[in-house]
Structure 1
């Protein structure tokens, strides 16, 4: 089993209050246990969003396109600290200041793996220009920059190619920009 699946996550109530902890593996077994997560959007100077195609070995929603980076803080860990660490681990992107723009609560079953996402998802945004130079192939199959309106149109046309949380993450960011 992937050792990341044995990391601890923080279980939360629907208001985000910590109520316990369990492993990543256990949190994602049906019917799913609500836990803290984060999703990072990186925006370039032209307003485009960096997407990653999740690696084929991912235990949930493999090969689906998602936001730049996502993951789980450990129990009691600051969300921005965990997100900064995962940006480096997945994309080789360091020292990007992140700001929280909202929280997105969602639940989604992965039909391919039988696993479940049930997350209290902190949406974080940072500015980044260029192309990630140190993409970890165990995490990321590909990256691409996409204009937000084009991404929304693509998700509407072919939702099966995108992680189920991506639309809600983009909506949380767009709402914060109004």
Structure 2
């Protein structure tokens, strides 16, 4: 399933997030990378804990690193929330989840293990999920799952950044963005 996903189309964007074209997932992630639309889902429980997934070993970018609940790419013209719920079902065996966009995290990262790059205009989506709800993660996508306290995660991201996908700190940082604290 992972290899075929590399042939899906992603939407290329400029630094303001305006669509500029399309290419395959594989093309977008070849050095030097092409800025494209993506999404990252943060799932929290009623206590504010965050669901993390350890990416499967077969992932073409940043395998075996801890990341947020789910990531992916909307097809050109598809909403990030719609695409995210499809990936939540595929990766985690759950959903649908009510998602709210809490910001954008634009980043660039090189994966020294696979030689691929990430150059993403990443829509950060937040949803509530109960740890009591069943999850059936796809082993081709997810090596393991765990719930983590937000403050413990923040501290470990600083102490052990090499355990985590390079976008995770920026994605989790959107939880504290000024417009979130103002209720916008």
Question: TM-score, with normalisation over the residues of structure 1?
Answer: 0.97
- 1:93 Cα deviation from its structure 2 partner: 1.3
C-alpha distance in structure 2 between counterparts of 1:42 and 1:148, whole Å: 11
Q: Deviations over 1:20-51 (max 9, x none)?
A: 00000000000000000000000000100000
Q: Distance in 2 between matches of 1:168 and 1:128?
A: 21
What count of residue pairs does the alignment treat as equivalent? 178
Q: C-alpha distance in 1, partners of 2:92/2:176?
A: 24
Q: Counterparts of 1:9-158 in structure 2 under 5 Å?
A: 9-130=10-131, 132-158=134-160
Q: Contact conserved, 1:98 with 1:126, CA < 8 A, in 2?
A: yes
Give the match's secondary structure for 1:6: coil
Structure 2 CA distance for aligned equivalents of residues 44 and 14 of structure 1: 33
Listed one character per residue, the Cα deviations across residues 93-130 of structure 1 (whole Å, up to 9, x for unaligned) are 11210000000100000010110000000000000002
Q: Secondary structure at the match of 1:50?
A: strand
State the shift of 1:8 in Å. 0.3
- In 1, the alpha carbon distance for the partners of 2:39 and 2:96 equals 17
In 2, the alpha carbon distance for the partners of 1:148 and 1:177 equals 16
* Backbone CA RMSD of aligned residues: 1.0
- The runs of 4+ residues in structure 1 deviating greater than 4 Å are none
